[in-house]
Structure 1
């Protein structure tokens, strides 16, 4: 057995690693059916090797009816035919390992597909042995569902099942019934399927909404009603289903039964997690997972408390983002571990959301965002297309979208709640998950950017002829070159993995300034999150660390705007940052002259 303290010890391999997420449906299609697949991934691994990533997170490729693009699994041990076969998977995994990369698979065990054999058996009879693998409740005396929760994909979380005369719980689509983790037999099934993939050579798991596996049951076996924030409608129930009372018990059992017997990387998706829960889950001595994806910084551009959730847009206030990131940095330093991300398959493109996707600033702001994110302590995650600064897609109408969450929201917002169609589409263009799911543009030629020779399952970004991998990789000042530089720096300089991260000038509305320190090493990062030139000075408290008779000299390590005089890049007093410019500087202490 591998001791738990090994997981989070200084020097653990994943602390200096950088991960890359592949959304297989949109990465590369090898057979011309318009859907990305495993052989397509294998054909592009040299791209990831050149980038320098050490970990690949692969979104689900399991057998699935694709109600939620693979996050509804009908067989946890089989590959969906559109993605290939187990032999294709083994070939891909071997190719990753040959390039020094480790594979983390998605573990989706809060729910399954309604086509899974467990659920087909469970819904047939209350006496079926698999019935208790899922969550069932009788209707209220008037026949109404057991409580007032609205699912993440709209509609009630309860779906009627005629053969048993019960409702079953689904926090997402009605075709994604929630699994009952209170049942020990269900947990044993999960441990077995995890061992299946780990024994096959997989190196770990990203665990989908893992903090939802423990539900907040009341003493009488009911799930409580949600507070009424939208009279006359169902109430958002998502927050109430997170961080239940047995969560740590279940996760520690997972570690004891499975994870401690393998050398794994584990990251838990944890919506609604607090910093206290982050410490509890990732503490290397008493926790259960290596790191988690928290969502505080992903919620800052939505109106708090608005029943429309993420679709209720508001401008991002940079001090809020800096304080949120710093709070997590402070809370987990020395007693847990952060995962660092600005995008994934569920989030819009960061250059459109946090940067500037106008042609004059797209590349520069994408490079700046890379510097800013990779300057924090934790394991950075790059989502496919982020390494070339791919922006959001300006969807013309709902007919251009494919995501179940987006389609359901549009139908209910307009058809049932009477919201303004123009405002609904504006929210979709800003926050819709399809923004991240348009196919990867590999080249500027051919009918479909080298993604497929067939018809793509969803249209490419309309500017793929200008924004594509081939062009960006050829540019020494492109986004790809910046990510490759940052990944290489993290591997060589321990201060970027292990050093303390401190934020400065947290109230500034456009500048983000960070320092990283480890022993005698001190690095400074300054980023301009605005469209005007900004001036910054070395923070006074930081300058005082040099002591009397000493001063700091700056050595540029990563620059988002490489043009300009070298002495300007090295200035620490009165330095001028161009719009959307970022600098990563290593500071040297020298005697004052």
Structure 2
């Protein structure tokens, strides 16, 4: 199936934290191979591996020093080949991270570029002269704090870094840079990978004229914790030229059978959805994209509805890849807990909602266990922005702690050595082995829900029509060819009574928690239900708060 990615469920593996096979406290490729059956049993279609390339690990692998190797911390290229073979044998596709917007300052490309202003790679990175007063060329800020410009004493120029100073940005205005990174993709495609997840895909190009960003509108008395949020980022990312390069990527991908791409749009709000749509519409750009629009705080029916409607209005033939958690944000089991009766109820509802949305889906390792965010101390952190902005912002380590596999082994079965991040008690208590033995566990529900999604073609590939309902009820009809399924969610910790017409509880409804009597659907705290049309008139769902 050439479009296997459309409506697929992709399981994100954070290699450092999945399974350590050699006792050094860091997860690795042989460990992933050992645990791939867990992902297959869950019912996912593919795995996405966060970066495994050689790196100084200043940003945990998102600072690549060699695009065509494997860091010894994780194993070897032979280990990678074995992983791909094992995944394919289990029916899983393999998607790998590609961090193309920037490299490590230890990459040979940057070492050559910074040597002088006349070498063959002199323009491979974004270099700029200082202002007359010695300051940087403009006001652009780093996502990780401070200016986005670093002074280099050899070239006597500034170079651009949207993240750490040790992560210089490549200059995609240079055709040779585009050619070089396309060759990187070709290397991995030839090795059998099924696709790429592109980190910060809207950061490839910058404004050639280096014009400053305008200030962002704000009404708070105090500035945000991170000054990056004080700018409207119109010049340092999401430039028009980006689309042209995405088309070059798609042309390359189309030379290989059944391959895919998913881009991370580093943006939130309505603009994020617009960029996602722009980057995926038609057949010549990315296959899929995601943003931080559903990875944030809002837990309202209006927010979920608007995200879906805005995307498909702008790109009817596009494909989003929705997710609620990943390696960059607070886990949704903690983020949305104030809206829930209990943690397990929230975990089940989140799974049911995410797996009902039109588009593809990404699950982050551990969410199938209902893992909450880990509470870490400052001295336990490794994440640069977490250390810089502590304690108002605690960084991303809390969602990156090791996967708990059992309740008998040291460190919940993750490693025989001291883990790179600690396994805390709340996470260890939700280990896989314990939930395997419990048919009522969050893990068991995820498996049922994934099987349910796979069995319902309207959930995998159907369209969406939203019903009119007040907060906190979200209700929509997923429609396929000759079939339909109403999905109704109570996004609150109080029982709600919802009126329905022309619908009956689906016989295979995995929620098993709703009651329908005299056209009234009763949903308990964080309850949800799937209903099939009866053929007795147009299906309707309504709720007035």
Answer yes or no: is 1:494 the counterpart of 2:457.
Answer: yes
**Aligned to 2:126, which of 130, 135, 138?**
135
Answer yes or no: is 1:25 the counterpart of 2:16.
Answer: yes
Kindly tell me: are residues 284 and 570 of structure 1, through their superposed partners in 2, closer, same or farther at Cα, counting changes over 3 Å?
farther
Native 8 Å contact 2:253 2:260 kept in 1 = no
Which residue matches 2:332? 350
Kindly tell me: are residues 256 and 465 of structure 1, through their superposed partners in 2, closer, same or farther at Cα, counting changes over 3 Å?
closer
Answer yes or no: is 1:552 the counterpart of 2:533.
Answer: no
Answer yes or no: is 1:191 the counterpart of 2:182.
Answer: yes
- Measured after TM superposition, the shift of residue 378 of structure 1 is 0.6
TM-score by length of 1: 0.84
Native 8 Å contact 1:393 1:462 kept in 2 = no
Answer yes or no: is 1:444 the counterpart of 2:407.
Answer: yes
Native 8 Å contact 1:60 1:106 kept in 2 = yes
Q: 2: distance between equivalents of 1:284 and 1:146?
A: 37
What secondary structure is seen at the aligned counterpart in 1 of 2:27?
Answer: coil
Kindly tell me: are residues 350 and 591 of structure 1, through their superposed partners in 2, closer, same or farther at Cα, counting changes over 3 Å?
closer
Spell out the pairing of 1:384-399 with structure 2 (5 A cutoff): 384-395=365-376, 397-399=377-379
Which residue matches 1:402? 382
What secondary structure is seen at the aligned counterpart in 1 of 2:196?
Answer: strand
Answer yes or no: is 1:519 the counterpart of 2:481.
Answer: yes
**Aligned to 1:461, which of 403, 424, 429?**
424
Kindly tell me: are residues 274 and 393 of structure 1, through their superposed partners in 2, closer, same or farther at Cα, counting changes over 3 Å?
closer
Which residue matches 1:575? 521
**Aligned to 1:364, which of 340, 345, 361?**
345
Native 8 Å contact 2:16 2:27 kept in 1 = yes
**Aligned to 2:286, which of 289, 297, 301?**
289
Answer yes or no: is 1:239 the counterpart of 2:233.
Answer: yes
Answer yes or no: is 1:587 the counterpart of 2:533.
Answer: yes
- Measured after TM superposition, the shift of residue 473 of structure 1 is 2.1
Which residue matches 2:159? 168
Kindly tell me: are residues 156 and 94 of structure 1, through their superposed partners in 2, closer, same or farther at Cα, counting changes over 3 Å?
same
- Measured after TM superposition, the shift of residue 90 of structure 1 is 0.7
Which residue matches 2:39? 48
Q: 2: distance between equivalents of 1:390 and 1:256?
A: 39
- Measured after TM superposition, the shift of residue 444 of structure 1 is 1.4
- Measured after TM superposition, the shift of residue 556 of structure 1 is 4.3
Native 8 Å contact 1:215 1:245 kept in 2 = no
What secondary structure is seen at the aligned counterpart in 1 of 2:534?
Answer: strand
Q: 1: distance between equivalents of 2:27 and 2:214?
A: 40
Q: How many residue pairs align between the two structures?
A: 527
**Aligned to 1:266, which of 261, 283, 291?**
261
Which residue matches 1:548? none
> For the aligned residues, what is the CA RMSD?
2.4
Q: Deviations over 1:382-408 (max 9, x none)?
A: 10001110011233x322322112112
Q: 2: distance between equivalents of 1:331 and 1:269?
A: 20
Which residue matches 2:275? 277
Q: Deviations over 1:344-394 (max 9, x none)?
A: 111111111124698x72222101111111111111111000111001123
Native 8 Å contact 2:21 2:415 kept in 1 = yes
**Aligned to 2:28, which of 13, 30, 37?**
37
Which residue matches 2:436? 473
Q: 2: distance between equivalents of 1:126 and 1:258?
A: 34
Native 8 Å contact 2:277 2:312 kept in 1 = no
Q: 1: distance between equivalents of 2:290 and 2:274?
A: 14
- Measured after TM superposition, the shift of residue 446 of structure 1 is 2.3
Q: 2: distance between equivalents of 1:259 and 1:133?
A: 27
Structure 2 alignment gaps of length 5 or more: 218-222, 539-545
What secondary structure is seen at the aligned counterpart in 2 of 1:31?
Answer: coil
Spell out the pairing of 1:16-165 with structure 2 (5 A cutoff): 16-165=7-156
Q: Deviations over 1:478-505 (max 9, x none)?
A: 2222222222233232111221112334
- Measured after TM superposition, the shift of residue 15 of structure 1 is 1.9
Spell out the pairing of 1:178-257 with structure 2 (5 A cutoff): 178-218=169-209, 222-227=210-215, 236=229, 239-240=233-234, 241-257=236-252
Native 8 Å contact 1:329 1:377 kept in 2 = no
Q: 1: distance between equivalents of 2:516 and 2:508?
A: 10
